């Protein structure tokens, strides 16, 4: 990378690599004021990181040098920033607080967005109120979302995250090509009262079409062909394929090519969410995202939450050479946020060539993983505290619980705060020794136990403390991470909005599928050949 500030960051890193987070706190009594941000109902503390003002200034200069200001404008104004597919990236247009003119191919897309949203909301109202009837005249009680990747993870994660706001409709998600998944779903549904929403932008995705067909076949064993229009809905950009599948035009919710799959929950792909929590809450989700969009678009980089968090990740990824990053929401509702963000980050920024098609000579694409706290404390936190790797982590928590009347919240939050404190401070040998003496251990026992009980500390984290888990705040949180992905892509000079890396496996799977029925196959590598032959012995 030839950016001047990137080189300066390299020397800055070497000069400060021995410093500890706690040293930075000792040097600057005002650190917390300088390294925290308050925005709407978000409080973001990023003081527990291995950086100082000098680091941040250099990182911000680098963002400017990368052309981030211009890039943000192009992103929001519908520039074709997904260059390898020749598309704009406009999920932000779906959640504008006040719809403005956005021109694509000479057409203002905002009126159409409002029209599709109205179609979604009217439909959701009819289903929720019971006016939409199944083929025997009964109201709908169960919705099955059939999709995968962005057509599943977003709707599934948000529906689960906003369970508190949900109505009487039961939501089920089927995604995997594993036939046992769809069979388990079929076991629990009633053909008279279930609505099937097939979500596929392309309507060619093997998983979704296979699950859709299996469910349709099952359905037709319980209902006449004419009943399909009462029970099958499609969300897609491929109207022809949807019609071929047998779904009537009135039951199709369109999606545009400028909405990427992993950023599509704001479009008609969010229909399952809208059904589960109702149009008002869904609109709040959109508005919350829209507010974060405005913050990202207008705030100075020094006060810009997605920019700051992206730069911190970049700092660890490219200078500290950390391999992974954890996301730990202290809310059971958000247990699937890490899995959702895995697709968003890793499908976007897992790229090895730059915008000129040249291999990059630096690491891109942070690896995201995580689980909900406090569960994670009893699973993988041991490695985060005492393992050999540094794993920067985002801790996400909510100041107010959704249910009152129990005494869990203070306990939860004390754990939330204690973990980032423990990761940063650690526990030195003197303190461990003192504890063991106080516990009455013998000298011999103390010497034996000492090395195992020391915590090195100096492990960085960000704390995102949000007032309460509301649809609007969840919208803002997701939007925050979407923009973090965007900033990283600009700095790494890679294209974040295509996903060619998922294609090869799909092509090979199609070839192998054809080979299962052939008597003689000899064109695969020896390992794959052996596996196919072994597998064929089990086929009926
Ligand atoms: O995994 C590749 C991918 O294209 C994702 O980007 C997308 O979210 C998913 O497949 C599903 O695609 P579709 O909505 O076209 O079925």
> Which tokens belong to 289?
């995202």
Nearest CA among 496, 495, 492 for reference residue 1: 492
Number of domains in the chain: 3
Centre of ligand 1 to C-alpha 148, Å, is: 6
3-class secondary-structure state, position 45: strand
Co-location of 140 and 269 in the same domain? yes
Contact by Cβ (8 Å): 101, 95: no
Centre of ligand 1 to C-alpha 141, Å, is: 28
Centre of ligand 1 to C-alpha 228, Å, is: 25
Q: Is residue 41 part of a domain?
A: yes
**Catalytic annotation present for 207:** no
User: Per the residue annotation, which of 160, 192, 347, 482 is the catalytic one?
Assistant: 347
Co-location of 488 and 376 in the same domain? yes
Q: Is residue 79 part of a domain?
A: no
**Catalytic annotation present for 231:** no
Q: What is the CATH number of the domain that holds 236?
A: 3.40.50.10490
Q: Is residue 87 part of a domain?
A: no
Co-location of 276 and 325 in the same domain? no
**Catalytic annotation present for 378:** yes
Q: Is residue 304 part of a domain?
A: yes
Segments forming the whole domain that contains residue 10: 4-65+299-400+409-497
pLDDT tens digit string along 168-202?
A: 999 999 999 999 999 999 999 999 999 999 999 99
Centre of ligand 1 to C-alpha 208, Å, is: 10
- Closest residue (by CA) to atom 2 of ligand 1? 502
Q: Is residue 269 part of a domain?
A: yes
DSSP string across 139-186 = BP-EEEEE--GGGTHHHHHHHHHTGGG--S-EEEEE--S-HHHHHHHH
Co-location of 218 and 156 in the same domain? yes
Co-location of 373 and 389 in the same domain? yes
- Name 69's Cβ contacts closer than 8 Å, sequence gap at least 6: none
Co-location of 250 and 188 in the same domain? yes
Q: Examine the fold and report which residue of 250, 280, 310 is the final residue of a domain before the chain moves on.
A: 280
Report CA Rg, the chain: 26
Co-location of 54 and 106 in the same domain? no
User: Per the residue annotation, which of 14, 15, 506, 518 is the catalytic one?
Assistant: 506
pLDDT tens string, the chain, 540 residues long: the values are 788 999 999 999 999 999 999 999 999 999 999 999 999 999 999 999 999 999 999 999 999 999 999 999 999 999 999 999 999 999 999 999 999 999 999 999 999 999 999 999 999 999 999 999 999 999 999 999 999 999 999 999 999 999 999 999 999 999 999 999 999 999 999 999 999 999 999 999 999 999 999 999 999 999 999 999 999 999 999 999 999 999 999 999 999 999 999 999 999 999 999 999 999 999 999 999 999 999 999 999 999 999 999 999 999 999 999 999 999 999 999 999 999 999 999 999 999 999 999 999 999 999 999 999 999 999 999 999 999 999 999 999 999 999 999 999 999 999 999 999 999 999 999 999 999 999 999 999 999 999 999 999 999 999 999 999 999 999 999 999 999 999 999 999 999 999 999 999 999 999 999 999 998 888 999 999 999 999 999 997
The conformation of residue 427, written as its DSSP 8-state character, comes to B
pLDDT tens digit string along 477-521?
A: 999 999 999 999 999 999 999 999 999 999 999 999 999 999 888
């Amino acid at each position: 990378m030839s950016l001047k500030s990137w080189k300066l960051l390299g020397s800055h890193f070497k000069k400060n690599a021995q410093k500890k987070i706690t040293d930075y706190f000792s040097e600057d009594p005002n650190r917390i004021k300088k390294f925290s941000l308050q925005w709407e109902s978000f409080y973001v503390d990023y003081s527990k990181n291995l950086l100082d003002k000098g680091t941040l200034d250099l990182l911000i200069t680098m963002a400017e040098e990368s052309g981030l200001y211009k890039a943000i404008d192009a992103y929001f104004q519908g520039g074709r920033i997904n260059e390898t597919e020749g598309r704009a990236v406009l999920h932000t247009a779906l959640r504008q607080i006040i719809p403005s003119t956005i021109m694509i191919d000479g057409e203002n897309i905002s009126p159409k967005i409002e029209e599709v949203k109205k179609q979604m909301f009217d439909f959701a109202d009819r289903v929720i109120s019971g006016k939409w009837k199944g083929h025997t005249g009964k109201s709908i009680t169960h919705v099955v979302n059939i999709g995968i990747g962005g057509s599943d993870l977003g709707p599934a994660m948000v529906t689960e995250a906003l369970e508190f706001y949900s109505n009487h409709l039961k939501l089920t998600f089927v995604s995997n090509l594993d036939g046992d998944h769809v069979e388990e779903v079929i076991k629990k549904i009633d053909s008279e009262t279930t609505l099937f929403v097939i979500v596929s932008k392309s309507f060619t995705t093997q998983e979704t079409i296979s699950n859709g067909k299996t469910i349709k076949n099952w359905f037709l064993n319980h209902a006449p062909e004419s009943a399909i229009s009462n029970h099958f809905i499609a969300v897609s950009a491929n109207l022809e394929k949807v019609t071929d599948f047998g779904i009537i035009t009135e039951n199709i919710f369109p999606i545009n090519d400028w909405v990427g799959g992993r950023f599509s929950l704001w479009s008609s792909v969010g229909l399952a969410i809208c059904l589960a929590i109702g149009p008002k809450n869904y609109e709040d989700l959109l508005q919350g995202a829209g507010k974060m969009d405005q913050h990202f678009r207008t705030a100075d980089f020094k006060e810009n939450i997605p920019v700051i968090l992206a730069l911190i990740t970049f700092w660890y990824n490219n200078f500290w050479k950390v391999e992974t990053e954890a996301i730990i929401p202290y809310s059971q509702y958000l247990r699937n946020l890490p899995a959702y963000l895995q697709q968003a980050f890793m499908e976007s920024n897992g790229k090895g060539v730059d915008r000129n098609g040249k291999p990059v000579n630096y690491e891109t694409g942070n690896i995201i993983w995580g689980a909900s706290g406090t569960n994670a404390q009893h699973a993988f936190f041991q490695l985060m505290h005492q393992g050999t790797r540094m794993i920067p982590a985002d801790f996400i928590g909510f100041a107010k619980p959704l249910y009152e009347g129990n005494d869990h919240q203070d306990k939860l939050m004390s754990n939330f705060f204690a973990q980032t404190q423990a990761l940063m401070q650690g526990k030195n040998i003197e303190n461990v020794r003192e504890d063991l003496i106080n516990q009455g251990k013998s000298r011999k026992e103390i010497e034996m136990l000492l090395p195992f009980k020391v915590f090195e500390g100096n492990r960085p984290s960000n704390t995102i403390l949000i007032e309460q888990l509301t649809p609007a705040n969840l919208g803002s949180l997701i939007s925050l991470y979407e923009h973090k992905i965007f900033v990283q892509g600009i700095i790494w000079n890679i294209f974040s909005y295509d996903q060619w890396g998922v294609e090869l496996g799909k092509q090979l799977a199609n070839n192998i599928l054809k080979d299962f029925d052939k008597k003689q196959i000899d064109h695969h590598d020896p390992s794959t050949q052996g596996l196919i032959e072994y597998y064929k012995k089990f086929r009926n």
